[in-house]
Structure 1
Amino acid sequence: MDQADIPALLARLASDEDAARKMAVFKLQSSINDPAFADVFISSGGLVILRRLIMTTGGNTLAYSLQSLSRLLEVDMGWDIFEGIAATDLVERVVELVVTNPLVNILRGAMSILVAIVSHSQSSSGAAGLSNRAESSRAAGGSSIRAPGSFGFRALRPAVAVYPTFYELVIAQLQSADHALCANALALINALIRDILSTDLSAVPTTPGGSVRTASSGDDWPKFIKKLQDLGLIKAVYHLMQSSALQDLAHPLLEFQGLTKVLLRRWREVSVDLERPEHRRALKGLHLASAPDRQPHTNGTTNGIKKEEPTAESARKGSRKHNPEKWRRLGFETESPTVEFEHMGFLGMMDMTDYVRKNEDGFQKLLLEQSTQSMPKRCPVAKSSLAVTMILYDHFEVDKPDEDVKTYQQLDGTKSSDKVFRPLLLQWSRLHTAGLQAFFRIWKATGAEQDDFDKAGELVRILIDQVVGQAVRTKDVVDVEEELHEFDCARLRELQMELLELAFEDQWGTHLYQVREELKREALQFVKEQRIRCLLQGSWFTKPVPKRDRADSAGKCRLYQPRPWRFAKLSHNRRFLHYADFVQQTPQDPGLDAMVDRVDLSTISSVVSNVSAPKKGEDLDEDDQSVSSNGTRLQNQTPKTTTKITIYSYASAEEAAKASSGAQDAREQAILTLYPQSHSLASEWLDGLLMLLNQAPITAETSRLVGQVYDFGLKIRLLNVRFESVYSGTPAGAGVVPSREGLDDDYYYQV
């Protein structure tokens, strides 16, 4: 729209006819985001008319008016409308629309305006832009002095006091089917959280050294966050992160994810202080939940010391008597728990109290169970809880600067963006509980002692990285909890060894690569020798018998005596493969002199096999089974196998010459066929023959054996290296030649 048409537009906006106003404000919303047009509109007194429309109209006229104001604020103009005495009424009107109006188009505009109001106090450019337009606001009848608290979280407080269900209804809009409304509602919540955090942080006094005095810090933000959580905020955002509407809500969701990390950092920065009533109540709740009066005793003794009968005086003073292990029995290292919360702050206390509150019976049973153990074998519950909190804190990189929005903009595709969204971060408390229970399970399964606490913690860290870190975006937290509870400890140990191997590799690089290559060659040579020794020992193979030559029911042969067994053996010089056929297996393996047939290994062109393990029930054809009266197989019936090894040779010297010259059509002929009775025997002979011909083994069993020998060799070498040497640098003074100053040549060796 042309700037010359603005007077006519203002006249139609001020008209008493609803149709004229509706058409005018409809055109206004499409042009007002032009800064040049907006400047003329404001200087012409348009803000007063726009405010009147928002305060008095309804339906589409109101929706277009709200959208116009929202777009005007997007270009950082029109903030004068919230100045003066009537500013509170306008904010209250917008809040009223959010609470009472059911129309989606009105709700979208109202929430967008509230987002701008709350976020304006956090914008450094807002004040500058406002001062630059001071003259134009005076021309429009606005005040050049901004009232304190007209922006930010405080701007909404008077209106929210009138409509106390405001937050509940805003969170309810997170379940709306309209993605734009859902995004505006979440953006409003983000703006409120961000503003109250920045306001409270600026209000917190500091010590002369610059550290935060948490005892005097503001209490607004914890109360506000708890109120939102009680209204179901976490659950609603968690479902949004797992929904298919991810792309439409990406920006506010990632902003909420970043604010969650900010909250975790803030809770960690709050020191546990007994002067604060809520901290004192939390510690007292931990002590009472531990059932301090339920001490294990047997025959009037406790820990081997006879228990005295309580007297009336002792019963009266019992509650005042201090238990010397009041906090150590809960798993603290000392009787000053506040000191042990220093590293994780109030966040560590929150996690522990939340676990105890939700699992009070299990907590008491665990303490009783641990009290029956000797001191070195007791699992320190409180210390374990703090360790799991730290593991989660490091896993989600809470201290890392939040760059999820930038990362998401650089990614392409839904699968890649799934790595940025971490919905499980919102389930912090449940992950802590599941991780702590996994800690107790690992402690018990490994038989750990208190000296092994760091080792058990490392296993839990690997477990969290494996289960939580590998979980897809849509994986439900219930499945994650179940996997943490049922993860195999043996598999966890294997993962730890793999990570240790990677750590060694990162530290040593080229040296470890050389060791690996050497071990691979040694493992292959070892297995080659083992396979060839199997050939030198010799083995029995089956040989198919034609149907016409098989025995009848009386055990008599029809034509001649078949020889269904074949014995093959490699000569001692490893040059010939001897074999012979027999009627039955002999108690002792035949020698080379009893086998007149042989194959010269130098004439073998190839070895072919199907190498497949026989399936269950396929040892014999159904028609070929012949069983004697006592249930045993007849002597001349041999198991039928599906595996065979065929040895080929060139048909003639000319064919061999053609093959040596590189011709592909050299003709081969089978010179020997072996039928192994088992898959292992087939693997030994097939790969043994191939290795004799200087070819690589091909069966899975041999490859697995080579891998096992290699792994054992590598682990044995790694065991000779101290674990600390991976991380520690050169010792102090290493490589320095000691000085001989003050020494003479008067010395001797003591033998």
Structure 2
Amino acid sequence: MDQADIPALLSRLASDEDAARKMAVFKLQSSINDPAFADVFISSGGLVILRRLIMTTAGNTLAYSLQSLTRLLEVDMGWDIFDGPTAGELVERIVELIVTNPLVNILRGAMSILVALVGRSQSSTGPGPGLGLGSPPEALGGSAGSRAPGAYGFRALKPAVAVYPQFFELVIQQLQSADHALCANALMLINALIRDAISSDASGGYGTGTGEEWSKFIKRLQDLGLIRAVYNLLQSSALQDLAQPLLEFQSLTKVLLRKWREVRVDLERPEHRRALKGLHLASAPERRHINGVPAGADDGDAAKKGSRKHNPEKWRRLGFETESPASEFETAGFLGMMDLTDYVRKNEDGFQKLLLEHSTRPLHERCPVARASLAVTMILYDHFEVDKTDFDDIRAYLALDDPKAQDKLFRPLLLQWSRLHTAGLHAFFRLWKATGAHRDDFDKVAELVRVLIEQVVGQANRTKDVFEVEEELQEYDAARLREIQMGLLELSFEDQWGSHLSQVREELKHEALQFVKEQRVRCLLAGSWFTKPMPQARQQESYNKRRLYQPWRYAKLSHNRRYLHYADFPEKLPYDPGLEALTEKIDLGTISSVVSNVSTNPPEPDVPADLTDADSNPNASTHTLASRHNGAAISNKPTTKITIYSFADEGLSTAAAGPDASATTPGGGGATTTASSSNASRSGDPKEQPILTLYPPNHSLASEWLDGLLMLLNQAPITAETNKLVTLVSEYGLKIRLLNVRLEHMYDGPGAGEACGGGVGVVPSREGLDEDYYYEI
């Protein structure tokens, strides 16, 4: 519309005919957001006519009028309409429309005007963050900047809200509207009110100016169901249409949490004193066992000790470290007190039962409830990055129609702070009990809870209900949580100390190898029973000759670890024979190799022993036909065997090694062999002969003796069971060392402004040092 047509437009706007007014204001709403047009419109007295239309009309004419004023305020012009003695009537009219009018197009316009009006108090140059900061009014040709500002923010709404006290409740109800634009406007109005409450409370805009009224106002909105309504929107499918106000509300929630934390707990303030007194009373302090009155004391004794007598552990029994609880809220602030009192108020019976249960335990075994509550508060505070309120590249995230990007940006669970705190605190109690923790272990349990929060809350998607999160926090297995914690800890140290950890791993692997070698050698020193198969050639002989067959062999390493003693017996003795009873011995220095069919893979316990045949399948898993425990019957075909070879002279008879040894050839029995010893003959082609064969009755014994013999010969172990044990010992050693490292021991680099001569994080000088050094963890 041309500026020359403005007088005619104003004439039609002032007409008594509703049709003419409706058409004129319909055209007005499409042109008034042009600053040049708006300046002429205002200078021609258009604000007076527009105000009259808002005050007197209804239906579409009213809706177009409200939309016109909204667009005028968007270009930061027309603020004179809220100045003067009649401004209160206009604001009351707009509030009345929100309370009484059911039409969506009227509600949208009315809420948009209030968003601009409330948001203007937060900027002296333009509307608040809800509409975006604009240029100074004089730069746009408007007149508002040349006048003293009127009453903006909640101060402008306060008289009207007093007339219509249901205003806040009805605005929050609009968050459930099916019209997304109306829903967005309602949320922007709430955001503007919260921002204004936070920024202007100290000046008396919300009450007495004591700096306390803002929290009461926020609580009033929460009691009206604000949190649940916004939480549902964050999980809804209308996310794109409501993204901007939802992100703003999420950011304001962090601001509120940060402000609550910054409030220092002061017993001089009545509400803080009442909160602490409520904690004390909720713990049932009148109970006799809590006040130190013996269970068998009579009424006279009770009267002497009386419940009014000060309990020396009044606050420590609630889980505080001292009898001055206010000082322990220094880190979590009033936010920590809110969380603790909210938990006690909603779980009073459980709180009393927990204190009663722990009162029977020694002090160092009791779970400190108050400390645990404060720890969970700070864990949630850090998890949601409450100190970080600026979202980076919000528009880039919003442009992506990616559920993962939305899950990262929108955090509905932030609004369920109280329920997450309660669930986290219950998880703390559960982990304390499951791990058998003591007071000195408090920080370790807190770290487990931190990992739990990261795993459950941090990995929850946007649509996951808080009830499911609470269940997972309660049911998450402590052992699995510990594994995750160790994995995360190892990754973090890997990033910081990668090269040093590699060196430590090598050292620990060597130490573990020596440890396992000693264990295996001690098995040989203890001695073991082995079975012997019946030779095939003797199966048809007479009973008298058969008595020469001795089915049991006992072997034992000498104390000086130089000789392997053994002997055969007709039956397994009820005791282990000593070295003096073992008539045969082998000098370990003469052993050239050890051959075995013991598999390097783990055994398969479900395979029947009688289906395993080392002769037909030398690489098979080492299952054996086990003998009866009393030794009455022995299988004719034990399948696991270890054969010891030696370089022998030409004249050495194979019979000297026993009939079972002569049946085996080097390398022919199985999958595993060793290198020859240093005592091997240096002649052209030395001949190896078996000097002893052992048949272990089970895989564990086979692993102990095979790897024990190899390690005595300075060879590496080869069985899966031994290698697994070496890995297990070395990994546990690494984890124990990592757990002993505190975070402050990690190098963070020199601090800002620190001199090179000293201070935390300064790299020490290497002057006078050589390369002979080590890094101790």
Instruction: State the alpha-carbon separation in 2 of the partners of residues 361 and 387 from structure 1.
Output: 22
Amino acid at match of 2:210: S
Compared CA separation, residues 11 and 488, structure 1 to 2 (3 A): same
User: Does structure 2 conserve the Cα–Cα contact (< 8 Å) formed by 1:120 and 1:151?
Assistant: yes
Amino acid at match of 2:615: F
Given candidates 740, 744, 767, the residue that maps to 1:723 is 740
Match of 1:568 in 2: 616
Instruction: State the alpha-carbon separation in 2 of the partners of residues 530 and 248 from structure 1.
Output: 76
Instruction: State the alpha-carbon separation in 1 of the partners of residues 367 and 431 from structure 2.
Output: 10
Identity %: 66
User: Does structure 2 conserve the Cα–Cα contact (< 8 Å) formed by 1:242 and 1:423?
Assistant: yes
Compared CA separation, residues 29 and 454, structure 1 to 2 (3 A): same
Amino acid at match of 1:283: L
- CA-CA distance at 1:385 after TM superposition: 0.8
Given candidates 579, 584, 587, the residue that maps to 2:637 is 587
- What are the superposed Cα offsets for residues 369-401 of structure 1, whole Å, 9 maximum, x if unpaired? 111000110111111111111111111111123
Match of 1:37 in 2: 37
Match of 2:558 in 1: none
Q: Does 1:265 align with 2:258?
A: yes
Amino acid at match of 2:497: W
Aligned to 1:92, the other structure's residue is in SS state helix
Match of 2:63 in 1: 63
User: Does structure 1 conserve the Cα–Cα contact (< 8 Å) formed by 2:36 and 2:141?
Assistant: no
Taking the TM superposition and a 5 Å limit, the aligned residue runs for 1:62-141 are 62-126=62-126, 132=138, 137=143
Match of 2:158 in 1: 157
Match of 2:689 in 1: none
User: Does structure 2 conserve the Cα–Cα contact (< 8 Å) formed by 1:186 and 1:252?
Assistant: yes
Taking the TM superposition and a 5 Å limit, the aligned residue runs for 1:88-487 are 88-126=88-126, 132=138, 137=143, 145-146=147-148, 148=150, 150-201=151-202, 217-296=210-289, 301=294, 307=297, 309-310=299-300, 314=304, 318=306, 320-403=308-391, 406=394, 409=397, 412-415=400-403, 416-487=405-476
- CA-CA distance at 1:403 after TM superposition: 1.7
- What are the superposed Cα offsets for residues 637-662 of structure 1, whole Å, 9 maximum, x if unpaired? xxxxxxxxxxxxxxxxxxxxxxxxxx
Give the TM-score normalised by the residue count of structure 1: 0.70
- CA-CA distance at 1:253 after TM superposition: 0.5
Amino acid at match of 1:728: H
Amino acid at match of 2:484: L
User: Does structure 2 conserve the Cα–Cα contact (< 8 Å) formed by 1:168 and 1:231?
Assistant: yes
Instruction: State the alpha-carbon separation in 2 of the partners of residues 95 and 498 from structure 1.
Output: 57
Instruction: State the alpha-carbon separation in 1 of the partners of residues 455 and 730 from structure 2.
Output: 27
Match of 1:208 in 2: none
Compared CA separation, residues 254 and 706, structure 1 to 2 (3 A): farther
Instruction: State the alpha-carbon separation in 1 of the partners of residues 334 and 269 from structure 2.
Output: 12
Q: Does 1:498 align with 2:487?
A: yes
Match of 2:560 in 1: none
- CA-CA distance at 1:161 after TM superposition: 0.5
Match of 1:534 in 2: 598
Give the TM-score normalised by the residue count of structure 2: 0.68
Moved more, 176-185 or 30-39: 30-39
- CA-CA distance at 1:202 after TM superposition: 5.6
Instruction: State the alpha-carbon separation in 1 of the partners of residues 612 and 638 from structure 2.
Output: 17
Instruction: State the alpha-carbon separation in 2 of the partners of residues 45 and 173 from structure 1.
Output: 35
User: Does structure 1 conserve the Cα–Cα contact (< 8 Å) formed by 2:202 and 2:209?
Assistant: no
Instruction: State the alpha-carbon separation in 2 of the partners of residues 463 and 530 from structure 1.
Output: 51
Compared CA separation, residues 106 and 422, structure 1 to 2 (3 A): same
Instruction: State the alpha-carbon separation in 1 of the partners of residues 594 and 79 from structure 2.
Output: 86
- CA-CA distance at 1:129 after TM superposition: 6.6
- CA-CA distance at 1:203 after TM superposition: 6.3
Amino acid at match of 1:424: L
Instruction: State the alpha-carbon separation in 2 of the partners of residues 62 and 164 from structure 1.
Output: 24
Instruction: State the alpha-carbon separation in 1 of the partners of residues 317 and 489 from structure 2.
Output: 34
User: Does structure 1 conserve the Cα–Cα contact (< 8 Å) formed by 2:187 and 2:246?
Assistant: yes
Amino acid at match of 1:368: L
Amino acid at match of 1:534: V
- CA-CA distance at 1:512 after TM superposition: 3.7
Compared CA separation, residues 425 and 297, structure 1 to 2 (3 A): closer
- CA-CA distance at 1:91 after TM superposition: 0.6
Match of 2:570 in 1: none
User: Does structure 2 conserve the Cα–Cα contact (< 8 Å) formed by 1:267 and 1:347?
Assistant: yes
- What are the superposed Cα offsets for residues 54-111 of structure 1, whole Å, 9 maximum, x if unpaired? 1110000100110111011111111111111111111111000000000000000000
- What are the superposed Cα offsets for residues 345-371 of structure 1, whole Å, 9 maximum, x if unpaired? 111111011000000000001011111
**Between Structure 1 and Structure 2, how many residues are aligned?**
589
Amino acid at match of 2:460: A
- CA-CA distance at 1:243 after TM superposition: 0.5
- CA-CA distance at 1:39 after TM superposition: 1.3
Aligned to 1:310, the other structure's residue is in SS state helix
Instruction: State the alpha-carbon separation in 2 of the partners of residues 465 and 564 from structure 1.
Output: 49
Instruction: State the alpha-carbon separation in 2 of the partners of residues 425 and 92 from structure 1.
Output: 35
- CA-CA distance at 1:717 after TM superposition: 3.6
- CA-CA distance at 1:342 after TM superposition: 1.9
User: Does structure 1 conserve the Cα–Cα contact (< 8 Å) formed by 2:319 and 2:368?
Assistant: yes
Compared CA separation, residues 564 and 420, structure 1 to 2 (3 A): closer
Amino acid at match of 1:587: K
Amino acid at match of 2:637: P
User: Does structure 1 conserve the Cα–Cα contact (< 8 Å) formed by 2:55 and 2:90?
Assistant: yes
Match of 2:16 in 1: 16
Amino acid at match of 2:270: P
- CA-CA distance at 1:310 after TM superposition: 2.9
- CA-CA distance at 1:482 after TM superposition: 0.6
Instruction: State the alpha-carbon separation in 2 of the partners of residues 400 and 298 from structure 1.
Output: 45
Match of 2:28 in 1: 28
User: Does structure 2 conserve the Cα–Cα contact (< 8 Å) formed by 1:271 and 1:346?
Assistant: yes
Amino acid at match of 2:138: N
Compared CA separation, residues 116 and 282, structure 1 to 2 (3 A): same
Match of 2:540 in 1: none
Match of 2:578 in 1: none
Match of 1:639 in 2: none
- CA-CA distance at 1:522 after TM superposition: 13
User: Does structure 1 conserve the Cα–Cα contact (< 8 Å) formed by 2:25 and 2:68?
Assistant: yes
Instruction: State the alpha-carbon separation in 1 of the partners of residues 255 and 66 from structure 2.
Output: 32
Aligned to 1:568, the other structure's residue is in SS state coil
Instruction: State the alpha-carbon separation in 1 of the partners of residues 232 and 214 from structure 2.
Output: 24
- CA-CA distance at 1:414 after TM superposition: 3.2
Aligned to 1:160, the other structure's residue is in SS state helix
Aligned to 1:121, the other structure's residue is in SS state helix
Aligned to 2:125, the other structure's residue is in SS state helix
- What are the superposed Cα offsets for residues 144-169 of structure 1, whole Å, 9 maximum, x if unpaired? 65465x21111000000011100000
Instruction: State the alpha-carbon separation in 1 of the partners of residues 723 and 189 from structure 2.
Output: 62
Moved more, 94-103 or 720-729: 720-729
User: Does structure 2 conserve the Cα–Cα contact (< 8 Å) formed by 1:171 and 1:233?
Assistant: yes
Give unmatched runs, 5+ long, in structure 1. 205-214, 541-562, 572-584, 603-679, 685-701, 740-751
- What are the superposed Cα offsets for residues 184-231 of structure 1, whole Å, 9 maximum, x if unpaired? 000000000000100025669xxxxxxxxxx98322211111110110
Amino acid at match of 2:172: I
Amino acid at match of 2:117: I
Instruction: State the alpha-carbon separation in 1 of the partners of residues 476 and 311 from structure 2.
Output: 38
- What are the superposed Cα offsets for residues 321-345 of structure 1, whole Å, 9 maximum, x if unpaired? 2222111111111111111112211
- CA-CA distance at 1:716 after TM superposition: 2.7
